Amino acid sequence: MKFTNVLQLIVSVLLIVSILLQNKGTGLSAVFGGDSGGYYAKRGFEKFLLYFSALLAILFIVLAIVNIFNN
């Protein structure tokens, strides 16, 4: 396997994990009196996850483009 393929696989797993960690308050509890979905400021770890996910998404797209041109 090429190094870029392995790197893209690692980035994809990290991206999936970071997105799944952001799913706070989206289950049935939100329907029955949970979070009303109003605006609130992201702070701390939540803000880090947001920026980390965006960085991983950009890195994933760049790696995909590199893999297209290397094949």
Helix (H, G, I), strand (E, B) or coil at 6: helix
Asked which of 9-13, 17-21, 22-26, 57-61 is least confident by mean pLDDT, the reply is 22-26
53, two tokens: 């996910």
For residue 38, pLDDT over 90 is answered with no
φ/ψ bin of 44: left (φ > 0), alpha (ψ from -120 to 50), beta (otherwise): left
More confident residue, 26 or 43: 43
* 37 pLDDT tier (thresholds 50, 70, 90): low
- Listed by start position, the domains of the chain span 3-24+41-70
pTM > 0.75: yes or no: no
